Amino acid sequence: MFEKIDVSGYTEFGQTISHCLKDGKQVFIYFVGDRVDGKSWCPDCVKSDSYMDDVLKQASSIDAKKPRVFITCLVGDRDTWKNPVNPFRKELGLKSIPSFMEYGNKVLDEDDLTPESALKTLSDVTGGTV
């Protein structure tokens, strides 16, 4: 099972990550554009949203060695995201959205993020199999 947390913006993201790591949790983050009426302004994020819930359900059956958290992080509206000094770009090195990662490991960006790659990431880092 995964604890699911939704955060908006870099400050809330940082606070949540700190809390989760302090508690010894394994942290996965799904970065997407802000949503209006439940739908992101980013077309690629809308596409990945369509399968990420199913991927998370499949991965929930994998035995994990420690508690796991799945954070959906809203990175801002289009103008905020496109700003070169956006902290998600500057501090984390994100180049595109959607992006997905286990905190501290390789980022899957929009070109690499598929249902299969997300599920593989979730199973590889937990040492489980799908």
pLDDT tens-place string over residues 28-78 = 999 999 998 989 999 999 999 999 999 998 888 877 778 889 999 999 999
Q: Answer whether 0.85 is exceeded by the pTM.
A: yes
Burial of 31 (0-12, 13-18, 19+ CB in 10 A): buried
Catalytic residue, chosen from 20, 29, 32, 45, is 45
> Does the structural domain 2-126 have CATH classification 3.40.30.10?
yes
Catalytic residue, chosen from 42, 55, 71, 97, is 42
Distance CA 30, CA 6 (A): 10
